[in-house]
Structure 1
């Protein structure tokens, strides 16, 4: 994909580690300037920025704080150039441990609200902060990160899945509002990834079972999911918006 992102600044939320770090490396590999947002993972984000080089910067903000996000976007524009691509990957603290999950008998509304505050609220704040840059550039792209648990809730992570379902709906409605600006908004719905901090608590036997059920015969990696984000952020998907693409090796069908 030569020169596709050469003049683009990409803001990735929750990019200090895990999938976010894989996303940052993928966009940097294709020539983009990369803003690595983090909330608490300062050391990891700064190390990743040094690894990528001068076309990357680590920027701190809690995506649930609208003012902090506006300040972050202004900092990104000053350090790397106006951002034209947003990848909303930030995730509230979560562990994919089916044995330790909150069941319906113990789940509280606050659990769902916390996940939604980061998933949907974070997307809202970032889009609002970037809108002037989208308008100035005459276009742009937003990629949100979802889950295949909507299609196949094999483990009922109620709070996480409900928030991602809301984010999918928000992705679709945002595409309608941002379309006239030339901004495309799409979602990548991943499955369990092998391996991130969030999936580190998943037993190896579960990974092996999923691999055995998947047509490609292995569990999707963060790097594979990140490559799909490149498509949605590039001109190659210029006629695609409001869509959700399941990236899980064929495990489920949307």
Structure 2
């Protein structure tokens, strides 16, 4: 299996794209560290993996808290794959955006992956191998009303991908981004509703929402040796929305 003997930490993996990524990586042979804020959802993700014969454990972490980030890094230990997937999605017009929500999104979506990567990358560099996959959004590349904060934080994450690739890849650590389009996740449906999500999906070339597993497959590819010549890249998994 392509991730045999690898350890993968996936933030925000108690549901949606993160949980599907955890299941796929476990099926590919990795020992998966599931992380998120909800203990019940984390336990359910771990159970879905272990019931299928995989290896997984849960580490609770609120990524708006730097102390929790340090604890997560310590508990995860040396990892071969880091997926920075967790994010806060504050949907509001710029003139209505609450400053507290802005600060929280910056903490979770930019500071957390920055601190976690800084904590875990040294061991990858020492081994001369590793893969970091950041999860962005198509909204980082196109203007969408009401997503000023979310899109800005994800654009920052894409910029970090390029910088980290320049800094880490000479030592054998690849860093890439997946930028999903509209995906059927609880977060999306809670924000825009079923009808809103379907209307959004119609703006893509394929005209439909992604299943979280479709995005997880791209993340798995980037984490694996099949993507051994890819670093510093942002892969648009958005049904052609940003291309056409």
* TM-score of the superposed pair, with normalisation by structure 1: 0.87
Deviations 1:180-238, CA, capped at 9 Å, x for gaps: 22111111111221132343332333333333333323211211111000111111111
Which residue pairs with 1:214 in the alignment? 204
Residues 97-136 of structure 1 correspond to what in structure 2 (within 5 A)?
A: 101-136=91-126
Distance 1:38 1:204, change over 3 A: closer
Q: Return the alpha-carbon distance in structure 2 between the equivalents of residues 165 and 114 of structure 1.
A: 16
- Give the match's secondary structure for 2:136: strand
Q: CA RMSD in A?
A: 2.0
In the alignment, what sits opposite 2:60?
60
The 10-residue stretch of structure 1 (134-143 or 205-214) with the greater mean CA deviation from structure 2: 205-214
How far has the Cα of 1:135 moved from its partner?
2.6
Q: Which residue does 1:138 correspond to in 2?
A: 128
SS of the residue corresponding to residue 35 of structure 1 reads strand
User: Which ranges in structure 1 are unaligned for 5 or more consecutive residues?
Assistant: 96-100
Once the 2 structures are TM-superposed, how far is the Cα of residue 244 of structure 1 from its aligned partner?
Answer: 0.9
Distance of 2:194 and 2:62 partners within structure 1: 32
Aligned length: 241
Of 80, 86, 93, 1:84 maps to: 80
Tell me if the contact between 1:151 and 1:253 (Cα under 8 Å) persists in the aligned partners. no
Structure 1 residue 152 displacement after superposition: 2.5
Match runs of 1:157-196 below 5 Å: 157-196=147-186
Aligned to 1:231: 221
* Match in the other structure for 2:6: 8
> The residue matched to 1:5 in structure 2 has which SS?
coil
Aligned mates of 2:65, 2:193 — CA distance in 1: 34
TM-score (norm 2): 0.90
| Separation in 1, partners of 2:220, 2:170 | 22
Counterpart in the other structure of 1:98: none
Three-state SS of the structure 1 residue aligned to 2:210 is coil
Q: Is the 8 A contact 2:80 2:131 kept in 1?
A: yes
Match of 1:46 among 32, 43, 46: 43
Is contact 2:131–2:175 with CA below 8 Å preserved after alignment?
yes
Conserved 8 A contact 2:177-2:234: yes
Unaligned runs of 5+ in 2: none
Instruction: Considering fraction of residues, name the structure with more helix.
Output: 2
Aligned match of 2:35: 37
Whole-Å separation in 2 of the counterparts to 1:249 and 1:104? 27
**For residues 102-156 of structure 1, what are the alpha-carbon distances to aligned partners after superposition, in whole Å with 9 as ceiling and x for unaligned?**
2222224443332121111111111122123203321101101111012222333
- The answer on whether the counterparts of 1:87 and 1:142 sit within 8 Å (CA) in structure 2 is yes
Is the Cα–Cα contact under 8 Å of residues 188 and 197 in structure 2 kept in the other structure? Answer: no
Distance 1:150 1:160 in 2: 8
Work out the CA distance in 2 between the residues paired with 1:231 and 1:204. Answer: 29
